[in-house]
Structure 1
Amino acid sequence: VKDVIVWGNITGSNYIDLSHAKLYGYDCAIWGPPTYPRSLLNMIRDSEWIHSEILSAQSTLSSQVSHCTGMLPAHAVATVLQYWYHDSPSDEIVSVGILSEGQFCIPEEIIFSMPVRFQNGNWEVITELEINETTQKVLERLSHELVQEKLVALKEIEEMRPYEAE
């Protein structure tokens, strides 16, 4: 499974977006080369099941992180450094927390995980991705939470204000 996008705060409030995820090497009636992808969401008939499985996996992973505190972040850092030095696959989406410059209507100046690609020692946000309405609403909520956290940390406000959808 590739091209899963993790939006938001990688260690806190986040959203796992499967709308661009692809499944490779699936044994089915349609055969193609190993590089032949199939849309993950088209392969799953029960969308409620996949969302409950993701939440369950996130919860399990969070509880297991305490047992191997440094391994997951170390692996993530190693992978990012490898891609930064050797380039990420050109057709693959990688999620990295970066300082937002307003992409996807995310406010500037907050660290936000979003889709990027690495080429020639540089990274760039993959802004040509289509974002559905559900994802855009989640991004609004997540960015609101991160802006509130930033304002509290900077002591510009005393407590976080709840998100109110427009």
Structure 2
Amino acid sequence: MNGKDGGELGNLILVTGAAGQIAYSLLFSIAKGDVFGKDQPVILLLLDITPMLPVLDGVVMELQDCALPLLRDIVPTDKEEVAFKDLDAAILVGSMPRKEGMERKDLLKANVAIFKSQGAALEKYAKKTVKVLVVGNPANTNCLIAAKSAPSIPKENFSCLTRLDHNRARSQVAMRCGVPATHVKNVIIWGNHSSTQYPDVHHCLVNMSGSELACFEAVKDDAWLKGDFIATVQQRGAAVIKARKLSSAMSAAKAICDHMRDIWSGTPEGEFISMGVYSSANSYGVPEDLIYSFPVQIKDKNWKIVEGLAINDFSQMKMDATAAELMEERDTAVAFLGV
């Protein structure tokens, strides 16, 4: 059941947590062709837990009612053996949300069990070429556990979402400079998708009146860039929840689309984006066997870390702190699961 990449019917795309908020904003963009190509048919596999199947039926009806030319089929299910079969891409959104009074380690324990099971399902049912994006939090560690649970799928095929943080950083700089977000490029999110992440603009360029300026030169406020800017990006998710009483859904869905589109279509020449990927070559001193957000460039569906960027002491300290948190999360998760 594959399109140009291997068959006639379309790319098989799985979205988990498909009855949830993020998926509701995401599925239309995928089905419309904004992610995998304007001429690439898609088949959507929508997985959620059994109690959510009636809600999922409503989502299916709405997708049908959009009358989208590229959407070849929709398969709602609560069964992993149906959802994970022969996939071209898996977008793993569904996870247990953090409830009031819940410790981060309690959330980690509940969610790594889900991602161990889904990793095993990928191993058993999906194509070995499947591209897997983990969104459910704690995303970096969930992604690592899913990858470890699917040993025959290359670890390079797994990534986690830090594009939302990347987009937030880009937008904050753009607003500060009074330019569109498209005029800001090469911000970097280092590390964990948590409050220890490090939004780094030391290599960022801002197009102002036709000239590309270094971010610090364009913003002209070093104290803001090293203080409130970083805190704003780190705490933005919590700020949205406080204001909206719900988590970021529209912006998360947009970031998922950006992330997957770049995997499928590549990154523009001279630009890099941020994604959580497997650390194996000790890039920038990051310990091995983590899913850590790096600056990457993508071509032919393969990412590579942008190497050789100068890192000052301020940046190194923040990059090390987020790596330390990831190592602690990884060790806790491995102890829970024995993977």
Provide TM-score, normalisation by structure 1.
Answer: 0.79
1:22 to 193, 205, 217: 205
Alpha-carbon distance between aligned partners in 2 of 1:84 and 1:114, rounded to the nearest angstrom: 15
* Whole-Å separation in 1 of the counterparts to 2:236 and 2:259: 24
Q: Distance in 1 between matches of 2:187 and 2:325?
A: 22
Q: Structure 2 vs 1, CA of residues 155 and 75 (structure 1 numbering), >3 Å: closer, same or farther?
A: same
Report what 1:38 is aligned to: 213
SS in 2 for 1:63: helix
Deviations 1:28-69 (A, max 9, x none): xxxx4xxx4110112233211232144235434432155354
Match of 2:322 in 1: 142
Q: 1 or 2, which has the higher helix percentage?
A: 2
Given the alignment of the two structures, is residue 6 of structure 1 paired with residue 185 of structure 2, yes or no? no
Query: Which residue does 1:47 correspond to in 2?
Result: 222
Q: In percent, how many aligned pairs have the same letter?
A: 26
**RMSD, matched Cα:** 2.0
d(CA) in 1 for partners of 2:260, 2:321: 30
Structure 1 residues 122 and 60: CA distance shift in structure 2, 3 A? closer
What SS does structure 1 have at the residue aligned with 2:293? strand
Matched, 1:106 2:282: no
1:91 aligns with 2:270: yes
Q: Is the 8 A contact 2:196 2:321 kept in 1?
A: no
User: Do 2:195 and 2:235's aligned partners in 1 also have CA atoms closer than 8 Å?
Assistant: no
2:56: which partner in 1? none
Q: Deviations over 1:75-106 (max 9, x none)?
A: 22211111111111121120000111121110
Classify the secondary structure of the residue corresponding to 1:67: coil
Alpha-carbon displacement from aligned partner over 1:83-131 (angstroms, at most 9, x marks no partner): 1111111211200001111211101111111100011221111012222
Pair 1:71-2:71 in alignment = no
The DSSP-based 3-state class of the residue aligned with 1:155 is helix
Instruction: Structure 1 unaligned segments of length 5 or more: list them.
Output: 157-166
* Structure 1 residue 133, shift from structure 2 partner: 2.1
Aligned mates of 1:143, 1:78 — CA distance in 2: 26
AA aligned to 1:18 is: V
Of 287, 299, 302, 1:119 maps to 299
C-alpha spacing 1:68/1:135, structure 2 compared with 1 (3 Å)? same
Change (3 A) 1:109 1:84: same
What SS does the aligned partner of 1:130 have? coil
CA distance in 1, matches of 2:260, 2:236: 27
- Could you say what secondary structure the match of 1:154 adopts? helix
**Residues in 1 aligned to 2:230 and 2:324: alpha-carbon distance in whole angstroms:** 23
CA spacing shift, 1:68–1:99, aligned 2, 3 Å: same
Corresponding residue number in structure 1 for 2:133: none
Cα gap change, 1:94/1:60 in structure 2, threshold over 3 Å: closer, same or farther?
closer
The corresponding residue for 1:153 is: 333
